[in-house]
A and B are shown apart, each in its own frame.
Chain A
Amino acid sequence: SQQGEEDPQALSIQEGENATMNCSYKTSINNLQWYRQNSGRGLVHLILIRSNEREKHSGRLRVTLDTSKKSSSLLITASRAADTASYFCATAVVDSSYKLIFGSGTRLLVRP
């Protein structure tokens, strides 16, 4: 079963606007990661936030984590047409294996 569920499933914004995507998960985690996928092929790692962290920044990306609500958000500021892609959250479940379980993804369209 899916560990993470992203919301919204699809998002369309104008270039220059901010995009916010949310991820909810079910079980305790070691960390939560966000990935980007272009054209339905390989995924690229964007940012990792540990379970004891609440906020992390990387360039135009800002990630928050609320372990009490089992949720995370990804904010992309000043979006560009090149940010158009699918974005997935992935959780490293607390067990001995550290395997990554992915959510269903948010499809982001940034209109020029």
Chain B
Amino acid sequence: GAGVSQSPSNKVTEKGKDVELRCDPISGHTALYWYRQSLGQGLEFLIYFQGNSAPDKSGLPSDRFSAERTGGSVSTLTIQRTQQEDSAVYLCASSLGALNTEAFFGQGTRLTVV
């Protein structure tokens, strides 16, 4: 596609439910990132995929969070048993994965846990 696509744009879920957030990166981009941004705050790194390497999961805040990247393309971020503090905008980005390349961002998914 022309850019990074994220779905849904907005998601309202009840506390305790599981949610899946989807990211379609730019075709050919080997690197994919997930970030979380709370209102008025900076970007919190969650997880990073690079090619066939094991993902860098060092930013995942708890074991309720997991992510997959199938076939080196589409990625899904899953949050189990959602809590109110999970409410935030979840941003996905992709890049060529080489040194000195820029990241391209999707428009994010705004998650609200009620």
Contact = CB atoms under 8 A, between A and B. Distances in A.
Interface of A: 2, 30-31, 33, 35, 40-45, 48, 50, 88, 90, 92, 97-105
Contact of B104 (A31, A45, A92, A103): A45
Contacts of A90: 103
Interface residues of B, number: 29
B25 interface: no
Interface stretch (B11-19, B37-45, B65-73, B78-86): B37-45
Given A2-B42, A98-B31, A102-B35, A92 B99 contact: yes
Interface of B: 4, 31, 33, 35, 37, 39, 41-43, 45, 48, 50, 53, 56, 89, 91, 93, 95, 97-100, 102-108
A105 B45 CA distance: 14
B75 to A, nearest CB: 14
